[in-house]
Every structure is written in structure tokens, then in C-alpha cells.
């Protein structure tokens, strides 16, 4: 069982996932800094509040905080946009050599067809 555990830990996927998780934690710090330092103050100024979380209203003793909902939506959209850009760049980087191979393979295949047709006509 210990050997199986060592094999599991030594697989590349576990290391890749661990690195991804650590990067995600620090990426969250970037998102928080952008939100807290730039976006939230702008939205708070638009609504005339000193703090973004003050946007909302009271019903009896309960506080309905629309600012927290807006904050969560902005975080989601911002993270989704950054991930979209990263995945798009990654797909472009990965797909480029594949497209070259496909073009080369198509050219090679067409050349073979041409040669076979030329042999048939002779």
C-alpha cells in the first residue's frame, strides 16, 4: 500500500494539480486586489457610498446587501474572463503545431494521390 501511495504521488498529474491549485490561490489575490483597489471604489462612488458593501437596504432588523451580490458577480466575471484568455492562449499555442502537421499531412496525401493518378495514366 505504501508503494502504491508513492506511485500515486510521483505521477505527473498530482504535481500538475498541486501547482495549479497554488497558482489559483495567488491568482485569487490578484483578483481581490483589482476588485478592492479599482472596481469596488468606482462602483461605490457611483452609488454614493463610502464602502461597496454598504450598498443595500434594510427590512426591519435585516440588512439586504446588494453590494455583496454585485461583488460576487464581478469576481465571477473577472475570473471567468481571465481564465478564458488563458485557455484561449493555451489552445492557440497547443493547436499551432497540430495545424502545421495537418497541413503537411494533407499536402503529403495529395502528392501521393497525384503520383498514383500519374502512374495510372502511364
Q: What is the pLDDT of residues 41-78, one digit of tens each?
A: 887 788 787 777 778 888 999 988 888 888 888 888 88
Segment 3-48, tens digit of pLDDT: 888 777 777 677 777 778 888 888 888 888 888 888 878 877 887 8
| Residue 23: domain span | 2-94
Segment 88-103, tens digit of pLDDT: 888 887 766 555 556 6
> Dihedral angle at the C-alpha atoms of 22, 23, 29, 31, nearest 10 degrees?
-140
How much is the CA Rg of the chain, to the nearest whole Å?
A: 27
Q: Do the domain assignments include residue 27?
A: yes
Q: What is the value of pTM for the model shown?
A: 0.52
Q: Do the domain assignments include residue 17?
A: yes
**Residue 91 Cα distances to 79, 80, 103, angstroms:** 18, 16, 18
Number of CB atoms found within 10 A of residue 52's CB: 22
Closest CA to 86 of 13, 31, 38: 31
Distance, first Cα to last Cα, the chain:
68
Counting the structural domains of the chain, the total is 1
87: DSSP letter: H
Which CATH number do you get for residue 64? Answer: 1.10.1200.120
Amino acid at each position: 500500500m505504501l508503494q502504491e501511495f508513492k506511485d500515486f504521488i510521483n505521477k505527473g498529474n498530482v504535481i500538475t494539480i498541486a501547482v495549479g491549485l497554488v497558482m489559483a490561490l495567488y491568482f485569487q489575490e490578484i483578483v481581490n486586489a483589482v476588485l478592492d483597489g479599482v472596481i469596488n471604489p468606482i462602483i461605490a462612488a457611483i452609488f454614493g457610498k463610502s464602502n461597496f458593501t454598504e450598498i443595500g437596504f434594510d427590512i426591519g432588523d435585516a440588512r439586504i446587501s446588494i453590494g455583496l451580490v454585485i461583488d460576487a458577480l464581478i469576481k465571477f466575471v473577472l475570473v471567468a474572463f481571465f481564465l478564458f484568455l488563458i485557455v484561449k492562449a493555451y489552445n492557440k499555442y497547443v493547436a499551432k503545431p497540430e495545424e502545421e502537421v495537418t497541413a503537411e499531412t494533407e499536402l503529403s496525401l495529395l502528392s501521393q494521390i497525384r503520383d498514383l493518378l500519374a502512374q495510372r495514366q502511364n
